[in-house]
Amino acid sequence: MSSNESNSRVLSGMRPTGRLHLGHLHGVLKNWVQLQHEYECFFFVADFHALTTDYDSSENIEQYTYDTVVDWLAAGLNPGTATIFVQSRVPEHAELHLLLSMITPLSWLERVPSYKDQQLKLNDKDLATYGFLGYPLLQSADILMYKAGWVPVGADQVAHVELTREVARRFNHIYGREPGFEEQAQAAQKKMGKKAARLYGSLRREYLERGDTEALEKARALLAEQQNLSIGDRERLFGYLEGGGRIILPEPQALLTEAAKLPGLDGEKMSKSYNNYISLREEPGVVEEKIRTMQTDPARGRLQDPGNPENCPVYALHQVYSDEKTCAWAAEGCRSAGIGCVDCKKPLMDAINEEQEVIRSRAVQFEEDPDLVHAILQEGSDKARAIARETLDDVKEAIGIAHR
């Protein structure tokens, strides 16, 4: 059940863990930069989420938040196009989290895979806390707050989006049944105009009576096209379509980021904890140094020994950074011992440095003027907050604690 197949709002967040690296650039940020041109985007730093695991070392969160945002801007996120903000600057996230916690069964949270996985993985920390159990529900609040249709995430986060869908469904089920719903939905149907109303009616019957999901899709598309329905009426009709009540919190969908896992300097996935990364804004000369000392196929002990590019992390990076011709040159030269590893690394260094150049030059104005970054976050947070307030008003009204 979803009222927003057609919803073009995108939301995603990142915990502040410090300076970002090329793995983040290729795995996440390039995707976000692309999405900002196609959707109404909200990107935020999840500093509350950082506290769920790092409550006892919170002293870096503020610096990390700032560094993260500078990296986002340097990678090409445009604050004029996307709304960029900090989670804790929109305290409504905490309020929605609390309200959702009232209706969320404990067992739903306990069975989210990351709950047990992370406790095992981070076994030096006491994660048997209330806050950590609530991690994915806080994420649900983040998403539902903006009624986002799409949530770009990696595979490890899909279960959290799934939980969000279940929580939204439960919320709508419990609080979406206003008195007189049926009558109101029928009145809304009439407002579509005769022809559309008739079509809606028959598609709804086909779905409800025969489970025809194609009819459901068609009816949703029909509703999405209607110009003269209020938001409330549209939501009623989406809900009525499936026999339920009004949809207050629409269900989002995960927009799975294709796992372009960037190989690190050692061929493993690039990651801060493996210390095999190149940062987004490396000091000049560091890229050369890191590539120069990269491992290659051990078979190439001497220049005249042929190698196998498939066993070489340098070649893995070529496949991300170099054109087909350069990749073919490297592979062929490696197998025939026609080139040395130093030669092979040169075009890779150049390609990464060229990318760094663009990122560094975008970063300069933000590095020189922290106030500018703070102003961007202030403006983004204000914009986000206005929307968050509206959602909370709806939510509290539906629950019956609007006190108006």
- By beta-carbon proximity to ligand SF4, the closer residue of 17 and 319 is 319
Q: How far is CA 281 from CA 78, 107, 182, 364, in A?
A: 18, 43, 58, 10
Q: Cβ of residue 317: shortest distance to ligand SF4, in angstroms?
A: 10
Rounded to whole angstroms, the Cα distance separating 205 from 153 reads 36
Q: Give every CB contact of residue 218 below 8 A, 6+ residues apart in sequence.
A: 203
Tell me the pairing of strands 150-153 and 253-256.
Answer: parallel
CA 46 to the chain's CA centroid: 11
- Please choose which of ligand SF4, ligand TRP, none residue 330 contacts, taking the beta carbon within 5 to 8 angstroms, the exact cut-off set by kind: ligand SF4
Q: How far is the CB of 67 from ligand SF4 (least distance, A)?
A: 32
In the complex, which residue's CB is closest to ligand TRP? Answer: 13
Chain residues that interact with ligand TRP, rule: CB under 6 A: 11-15, 46, 49, 139, 142-143, 151, 153, 157
**Shortest distance, CB of residue 334 to ligand SF4, whole angstroms?**
3
Q: How far is the CB of 328 from ligand SF4 (least distance, A)?
A: 12
Provide the minimum distance between the beta carbon of 30 and ligand SF4 in the complex, in angstroms, as a whole number.
Answer: 25
Say how far apart CA 176 and CA 239 lie, in whole Å.
9
- Shortest distance in whole angstroms from residue 108 CB to ligand TRP: 16
Given the complex with ligand SF4, which of 75 and 287 has the nearer CB atom? 287
Q: How far apart are CA 232 and CA 71, in angstroms?
A: 39
Cβ proximity to ligand TRP: between 113 and 338 the closer is 113
Q: Which does 157 bind (CB under 5 to 8 A by kind): ligand TRP, ligand SF4, none?
A: ligand TRP
Q: Which residues bind ligand SF4 (CB under 6 A)?
A: 296-297, 300, 307, 309, 312, 314-315, 330, 334, 339, 341, 344-345
Minimal distance, residue 306 CB to ligand SF4, in Å: 9
Q: What is the 8-class DSSP label of residue 247? A: -
Q: Which residue, 23 or 307, has its beta carbon nearer to ligand SF4?
A: 307
Q: What is the dihedral of CA 267, 269, 271, 276, to 10 degrees?
A: 0
Name which of 277 and 329 has its Cβ closer to ligand TRP: 277
Nearer to ligand TRP, 160 or 204 (CB): 160
300 binds, among ligand SF4, ligand TRP, none (CB under 5 to 8 A by kind): ligand SF4
The entry of ligand TRP, ligand SF4, none that residue 139 binds, CB within 5 to 8 Å by partner kind: ligand TRP
Which CB atom, from 77 or from 344, has the smaller least distance to ligand SF4? Answer: 344
Instruction: Select the binding partner of residue 215 from ligand SF4, ligand TRP, none (C-beta < 5 to 8 A, by kind).
Output: none
Residue type at position 242: E
Cβ neighbours around 58 below 10 Å, total: 11
With b for 16 or more beta-carbon neighbours within 10 A and e for fewer, the 88-111 pattern comes to bbbebbebbbebbbeebeeeebee
Query: Measured from the CB of residue 142, what is the shortest distance to ligand TRP in angstroms?
Result: 4
Cα separation, 126 vs 143, whole angstroms? 27
Q: What is the rounded distance in angstroms from the CA atom of residue 303 to the CA atom of residue 288? A: 21
Question: Count of residues for the chain?
Answer: 404
| Residue 344 binds: one of ligand TRP, ligand SF4, none (C-beta under 5 to 8 A by kind) | ligand SF4
Which residues, other chains included, contact 327 with Cβ-Cβ below 8 Å and sequence gap of 6+?
Answer: 315, 318, 319
